[in-house]
Amino acid sequence: MGRHGTIAGRKAAQDSKRAAVFTKYARAITVAAKDGGDPDYNVALKHAIEKAKSINMPNDNIKRAIQKGTGELGGASYEPGTFEGYGAGGVAVVVEILTDNKNRINAAIKHAFDKWGGNLGVPGCVSYMFSKKGVFVFDKEAEGVSEDALMEAALEAGADDVVEYEDSFEVLCDPSVFDDVDAALRAAGLEPLEADIDQVPSMNSTPTDEADIKNLKRMIEELEDNDDVQKVYTNCSIDLYEEE
């Protein structure tokens, strides 16, 4: 998804693609489970399961995904990958994938960029504009959530910053202290709506042409509709999930 949108906008986009989101999270669980099916001893699997539970994925789906990863059940073998380029209006775009068919996803991503006025680039062409960060999203209206409370719990655990948005706060940290910050926030009774390792832009782009903004939204939508695509990041400062 884009770097930020309102909670309502992101939830509406996710709800409209519930089955597709289940598929993406199941793939993430399967890949993580290759390193062991016990989340107590596999941090990546633990995080993948937590994300799946946050969108109410059924336990049976989670179990099957783990069994595929450990080899107990047959299934496709997924490989990770990353694509980079520019969308309409010069917005930087990073696409993370898990696929069992590289030729298929290569063609699909190139088609989406070309169709909607973007330019697919070479590795490294825009990734320097992003940094991997642990990101915890909190609803401003949730009980006990305040900037002071978040800072007190998170910064002591090694977080870098607390950022305020229209209807939410985001706690940012280095991925190496993600688990420490997560534990500290939950111990303080602060339950995040979302918690993940994301690509956070270090510089933003603001397209001004309405046609560019519309094409950028359509490209992001087409990419996110693809089962092989796990996440799409942009450095666009405009909410790309706002209803038109």
CATH fold of 7-70: Arc Repressor Mutant, subunit A (1.10.10)
Look up the pTM and report it.
0.88
What pLDDT score does 139 carry? 92
Delimit the domains of the chain by residue range: 7-70, 80-127+203-234, 129-201
Give pLDDT < 50 ranges for the chain: 1-2
Secondary structure E strands in 121-228: 130-139, 161-164, 168-173, 194-201
In this predicted model, what pLDDT tens digit does every residue of 129-176 receive, in sequence order?
A: 999 999 999 999 988 999 999 999 999 999 999 999 888 999 999 999
Decide if 15 contacts 241 (C-beta within 8 A). no
**Residue 205 DSSP one-character state:** B
What pLDDT score does 224 carry? 93
Superfamily of domain 80-127+203-234: YebC, transcriptional regulation domain (3.30.70.980)
CATH fold of 129-201: Alpha-Beta Plaits (3.30.70)
The residue behind tokens 């789906």 is 61
Helix axes 43-54, 59-70, angle to 10 degrees: 150
Question: From CA 221, how far away is CA 232, in angstroms rounded?
Answer: 9
What pLDDT score does 2 carry? 42
What pLDDT score does 9 carry? 63
What pLDDT score does 243 carry? 62
Decide if 85 contacts 224 (C-beta within 8 A). no
Question: From CA 35, how far away is CA 32, in angstroms rounded?
Answer: 6
What pLDDT score does 1 carry? 38
Domain 7-70 and domain 80-127+203-234 have a common topology = no
